[in-house]
Every structure is written in C-alpha cells, then in structure tokens.
Amino acid sequence: MAKKNKAPLVRKRRQRQEVSAFGPLFFTGLAAVGFISWQVAVLVAFGLVPTIVLAFTGKGSNKSLRLQCVTFANLSGVIAFIPQVWSRPSQLEAIMTDPINLVMMWGSASIGYMLIYVGPIVATHILQGMAQDKIKQIAQQRQTLVEAWGPDVLGDKEQEPAPNHIRLKKS
C-alpha cells in the first residue's frame, strides 16, 4: 500500500478585529461617576443602552468609528437629564420611566445611526454635483478658448468624443 501524499495543513489566520477602548473607558467612567452619585451612574448606564448594544454586537470594518458616532450622539441625549438627577436624585425613577425622556435619550442614538448610513449618501450626492459643476466650467472655458483662438487650439488630431465619465449630462 502506498501512502497518499497529503497537502500540508495551512493554518488560516483570523482577521484581527479592531480593538476598542470603549469597554474599559465606559466602565471606569461609570464607576467614577458612581462613587460621586449612583443615581447619575444608573441614568447614564440606562441612557446609553443603544451604545452598549452596539459595542458588544457591532461587527465589520470601522467598528470603532461607528461606535464613536453613536456614542457621542447618544451622550448628547443623556447629558440633558444629568443635571435634573444630580439636583434631585429622588426623581431618577420618574425621569427613566417617562416615555418622552426615553425617546430623547435613545432617539439621539438613532441620529448617530442615521449619520452612519445616510451621511455617505449625502456626501456622494454633494461631490457628484461639485464634479458636474467643474465639468461645465471646463467646457465653458474650452468654448471660450475656441471662440478666441479658433478650432486650431484643440490640436491637429480628429475630434474624439469625450469618455463617458466626462460627458455632460443633458437635462
């Protein structure tokens, strides 16, 4: 019996995930606030639930950047209620159970999510509009040169149509 030659086993390396300092910083900051006022720490932890969920479940590229965007948007909604709890700690339960307050705290996180998904689309449209304006400007400058110096300014070669990405869109 002849031995079969087996292909050498190649270990596949795991792709390195982004390392985020969110967890240690969050829990350290929460503990520090908790030493000063446990009611404020509870409010912050409760208000940042969407951020905490993203921190533990987020995957893919740019995870830390997405987490920062949602965290800062979420914090802007939670910070509005910290002075109320700080001055009247007994109002913690009332603040946490009011639906309007929940919408403000958790809804601000949804603004961060919206920025993540809608921001690139808006930026694309703005940059495309700017590029089209630049193309029109170059075409006008070219026409002005042809009118001033004649068609010889374009060169001796035959007129070639412009590539698709340069042609003006006809409206």
Integer-rounded Cα Rg, in Å, for the chain is 29
Helical H segments across 48-88, by residue range: 49-57, 63-78, 82-87
- Reported as a single tens digit per residue, the pLDDT across 81-125 is 999 999 999 999 999 999 999 999 999 999 999 999 999 999 999
Give residue 3's pLDDT. 63
- What does the buried/exposed string (b/e) look like for 37-50 if buried means 16 or more CB atoms within 10 Å of the residue's CB? eebbbbbbbbbbeb
Provide DSSP, 104-121.
HHHHHHHHHHHHHHHHHH
Is the pLDDT at 167 greater than 70? The verdict is: no
Band of residue 146 on the pLDDT scale cut at 50, 70, 90? confident
Is the pLDDT at 1 greater than 60? The verdict is: no
Query: Could you tell me the residue ranges of all domains in the chain?
Result: 22-118
Band of residue 17 on the pLDDT scale cut at 50, 70, 90? low
Band of residue 55 on the pLDDT scale cut at 50, 70, 90? confident
pTM for this predicted structure: 0.64
